[in-house]
């Protein structure tokens, strides 16, 4: 396959040619963020409110914290699913300077309401008690919730970060985890 754009990015960047994935998404993400195998971080794909084995321990430094310490601008856009039970578990607490995220393992991509995979295929009424699962930095993003499909929202946000980027403030590290690649398939 000819990929001239990807090759051009590689020439100006760093090739990460070793990677470790797990059968579930959250342990793989924890592995990437900590540099440790899922066996040493967590192997459970639990809900984010879990303070036990379902999240990476707070004593493990995440990649964006290390990069921010050496001058990188750090942004996270999309699915988080790495913890939310304390301010230290959310992207801001893990080294991201700015973020637009959904915390749980799945969300309704049109309403941004928290859900469990099979349940969010069923439309959720506007007056439902299911909370919005959309945050900007360290607070709820209720003004953005339900306005557009998450794929468009996250894409527009990522492009906005790049367009507003001031390289004199340091290089960029952005973790983009789009919602459309995850269930429910809406």
Integer Cα distance of 34 and 55 in angstroms: 12
Determine whether 25 is an active site residue: yes
Determine whether 81 is an active site residue: yes
Q: Within 13 Å, how many C-alpha atoms sit on residue 131's CB side?
A: 8
What's the distance, Cα to Cα, between the start and end of the chain in Å?
29
State how far the alpha carbon of 157 is from the alpha carbons of 99, 113, 178, 183, in Å.
Answer: 9, 19, 11, 21
Catalytic residue chosen out of the listed positions 81, 89, 175, 182: 81
Q: Which two tokens stand for residue 153?
A: 């929202």
Q: Which of 128, 114, 112, 104 is nearest to 45 (CA)?
A: 104
- Catalogue the active-site residues: 25, 81
């Amino acid at each position: 396959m000819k990929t001239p754009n990807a090759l051009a990015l590689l020439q100006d960047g760093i090739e990460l040619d070793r990677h470790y994935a797990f059968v579930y998404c959250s342990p793989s993400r924890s592995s990437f963020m900590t540099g440790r195998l899922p066996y040493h971080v967590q192997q459970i794909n639990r809900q984010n409110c879990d303070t036990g084995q379902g999240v990476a321990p707070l004593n493990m430094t995440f990649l964006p914290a290390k990069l921010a310490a050496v001058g990188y601008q750090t942004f996270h856009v999309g699915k988080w699913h790495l913890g939310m039970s304390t301010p230290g578990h959310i992207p801001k607490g893990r080294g991201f300077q700015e973020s637009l995220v959904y915390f749980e393992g799945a969300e309704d991509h049109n309403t941004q309401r928290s859900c469990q995979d099979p349940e969010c295929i069923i439309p959720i009424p506007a007056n439902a008690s299911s909370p919005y699962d959309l945050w900007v930095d360290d607070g709820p993003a209720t003004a953005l919730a339900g306005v557009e499909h998450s794929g468009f929202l996250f894409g527009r946000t990522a492009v906005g970060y790049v367009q507003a980027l001031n390289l004199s403030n340091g290089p960029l590290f952005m973790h983009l985890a789009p919602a459309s690649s995850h269930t429910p398939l809406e």
